[in-house]
Amino acid sequence: MDAETLYRAAFRAFNAGEYDAAARHFGEFASRYAAEPEMQQAMPHVYYALGCAQYNTRQMQPAIEAFNEHLKRDPKSAFRAEVMFRIGNAQFAGRNYADAVMQYQQLLREFPSAGVRDDARFQLAVALLLQEQYSNAIPLLAALSADTADAARAGAARAYHAQAAFAAGRHDECLRVLRTACAEGMPPDHLILLSTLALQLGDAFYESYELEKALDAYRCVLHRDELLRRQEARLGALAAECRRLERMPRTDLAAFAQLERAGLLEAQARDQIATLSAQGDFDTSWLMRLGRCLYEMGALWEACIAFQELVRSHPASELAPGAHASLLYCLAQMRLFDEVIREADAFVACHPGHPQAPQAAFLKCEALVNAERFDQAEQALIALLDSHPGHPARDRAAFYLHLSQAMQEKFPEARAGLAAWLAEPGHSNSAVRIDVEYWQAMAAVFSGDYSNAQPLVEAFLSRHPDAVYAPDMAYRLGVVHYMRGQYRNAAMALVKFVRGHPDHPMIWEARVLRGDALAAMGELGIALSAYAEAGPDSGPYYHYAVAQRGKCHKALEDFTNMVALYEGYITNVADSPNVVEGIYWLGWAHRRLGHAGAAREAYWSALLTYGNRKDWQGFEQILGDMRSLYPGSNGVAELAMRLEDESDAARSKGRLTLGSRLDIARARLYEKEKRAADAREAAAAFAARYTTNVLGPDGLLFLATRTAVSNRGDSCAAVLHLLARAFPASAQCAEAEMLLARRARAEGDLDACGRLVASAAAKAQEVSVALEITMEKARWLAASDRLREAIAAYEEVLANKAARGPLWPEALYGIAAAYEAMRDFRAAIPYYQRIYVMYAGHAQLAAQAYYHSGRCFERMGDVSAAIRTFKELAEDERFAAAPETARAQERLSSLLASNTQ
Partner 1 sequence: MNTMAIMITACAALSMRPPDATNEPQLARIHLVTGGRQHVCRVLGRDARSVTIARTLDGGGTATENYLTQQIAALVFPRPASLAALETQRVAGVALDRMLSNVTAELAAQLDYADIRGSWAAPLAFERARLLERAGRHRAALALYTNLPGVAFHPDLPRAARLRTAVCAFLLGRQSNALVRLEGALAEARSDAERAEAHYYIGCARARLGDHTGALFSLLRNVVFYAAEKPWEAESLAAALPAYAALGQRDAFEAACRALLCRFPDSPHAYTATNALHAAQAGSNLTSLVSFPHSPLEASQ
Cα 883 to its chain centre, rounded Å, is 66
Residue type, 810: E
- Got the DSSP string for 67-79? HHHHHHH-TT-TT
Q: Which of 229, 312, 823, 826 binds partner 1 (CB under 8 A)?
A: 229
Shortest Cβ 294–partner 1 spacing (Å): 7
Site string for partner 1, 551-590 (x = CB under 8 A): ----------------------------------------
C-beta closer to partner 1: residue 162 or 493: 162
CB-based contacts of 683, cutoff 8 Å, min separation 6: 667, 702, 706, 707
C-beta closer to partner 1: residue 107 or 186: 186
CB-based contacts of 586, cutoff 8 Å, min separation 6: 563, 566, 567, 570, 599, 602
- Using rule CB under 8 A, residue 826 touches partner 1: no
State the number of CA atoms in the 13 A half-sphere of 248 facing the CB. 16
Shortest Cβ 186–partner 1 spacing (Å): 7
What 8-state DSSP symbol labels residue 354?
S
Residue type, 820: E
Span from 115-123, 240-248, 290-298, 801-809 in contact with partner 1 (CB under 8 A): 290-298
Span from 33-41, 138-146, 294-302, 340-348 in contact with partner 1 (CB under 8 A): 294-302
Shortest Cβ 507–partner 1 spacing (Å): 23
Report the C-alpha gap between 546 and 510 in whole angstroms. 15
C-beta closer to partner 1: residue 138 or 304: 304
Report the C-alpha gap between 624 and 629 in whole angstroms. 10
- Using rule CB under 8 A, residue 865 touches partner 1: no
Q: Which of residues 201-220 bind partner 1 (CB under 8 A)?
A: 219-220
Shortest Cβ 183–partner 1 spacing (Å): 8
- Using rule CB under 8 A, residue 651 touches partner 1: no
In contact, 696 and 723? CB cutoff 8 Å: no
Q: Which of 299, 371, 520, 687 binds partner 1 (CB under 8 A)?
A: 299
Instruction: Please provide residue 538's backbone torsions phi and psi, each rounded to the nearest 5 degrees.
Output: -90, 5
Q: Which of 15, 301, 672, 788 binds partner 1 (CB under 8 A)?
A: 301
Q: Which of 129, 245, 290, 498 binds partner 1 (CB under 8 A)?
A: 290
In contact, 216 and 194? CB cutoff 8 Å: no
Span from 223-231, 349-357, 411-419, 844-852 in contact with partner 1 (CB under 8 A): 223-231
C-beta closer to partner 1: residue 308 or 885: 308
Report the C-alpha gap between 290 and 206 in whole angstroms. 10
C-beta closer to partner 1: residue 182 or 792: 182
Instruction: Please provide residue 707's backbone torsions phi and psi, each rounded to the nearest 5 degrees.
Output: -105, 165
C-beta closer to partner 1: residue 298 or 594: 298
Span from 240-248, 296-304, 560-568, 744-752 in contact with partner 1 (CB under 8 A): 296-304
Helix (H) or strand (E) holding 873: helix 863-875
Q: CA gyration radius for the chain?
A: 51
- Using rule CB under 8 A, residue 9 touches partner 1: no
Please choose, from the candidates 32, 78, 76, 70, the residue with its C-alpha nearest in 3D space to the C-alpha of residue 51: 70
- Using rule CB under 8 A, residue 222 touches partner 1: yes
- Using rule CB under 8 A, residue 182 touches partner 1: yes
In contact, 230 and 191? CB cutoff 8 Å: yes
C-beta closer to partner 1: residue 288 or 294: 294
In contact, 197 and 163? CB cutoff 8 Å: yes
Site string for partner 1, 323-342 (x = CB under 8 A): -------------x--x---
Residue type, 503: D
- Using rule CB under 8 A, residue 309 touches partner 1: yes
Span from 143-151, 291-299, 649-657, 881-889 in contact with partner 1 (CB under 8 A): 291-299
- Using rule CB under 8 A, residue 371 touches partner 1: no
Shortest Cβ 305–partner 1 spacing (Å): 5
- Using rule CB under 8 A, residue 194 touches partner 1: no
C-beta closer to partner 1: residue 97 or 218: 218
Please work out, in degrees rounded to the nearest 5, the angle formed at the alpha carbon of residue 187 by the alpha carbons of 185 and 189. Answer: 150
Shortest Cβ 179–partner 1 spacing (Å): 10
C-beta closer to partner 1: residue 226 or 645: 226
Report the C-alpha gap between 580 and 616 in whole angstroms. 10
Distances (CA, A) of 20 to 24, 25, 558: 6, 9, 126
What 8-state DSSP symbol labels residue 223?
P
By CB under 8 A, the count of residues binding partner 1 is: 22
- Got the DSSP string for 97-151? HHHHHHHHHHHHHH-TT-TTHHHHHHHHHHHHHHTT-HHHHHHHHHHHHT--S-H
- Using rule CB under 8 A, residue 243 touches partner 1: no
Q: Which of 9, 30, 60, 186 binds partner 1 (CB under 8 A)?
A: 186
Span from 49-57, 117-125, 303-311, 473-481 in contact with partner 1 (CB under 8 A): 303-311
Cα 285 to its chain centre, rounded Å, is 33
Length in residues, the chain: 901
Report the C-alpha gap between 504 and 497 in whole angstroms. 9
C-beta closer to partner 1: residue 336 or 700: 336
In contact, 212 and 297? CB cutoff 8 Å: yes
Span from 306-314, 420-428, 517-525, 877-885 in contact with partner 1 (CB under 8 A): 306-314
- Using rule CB under 8 A, residue 176 touches partner 1: no
In contact, 203 and 166? CB cutoff 8 Å: no
C-beta closer to partner 1: residue 9 or 330: 330
- Using rule CB under 8 A, residue 304 touches partner 1: yes
Cα 168 to its chain centre, rounded Å, is 51
- Using rule CB under 8 A, residue 226 touches partner 1: yes
C-beta closer to partner 1: residue 219 or 755: 219
In contact, 100 and 127? CB cutoff 8 Å: yes
Q: Which residues bind partner 1 (CB under 8 A)?
A: 182, 186, 219-220, 222-223, 226, 229, 290, 294, 298-302, 304-306, 308-309, 336, 339
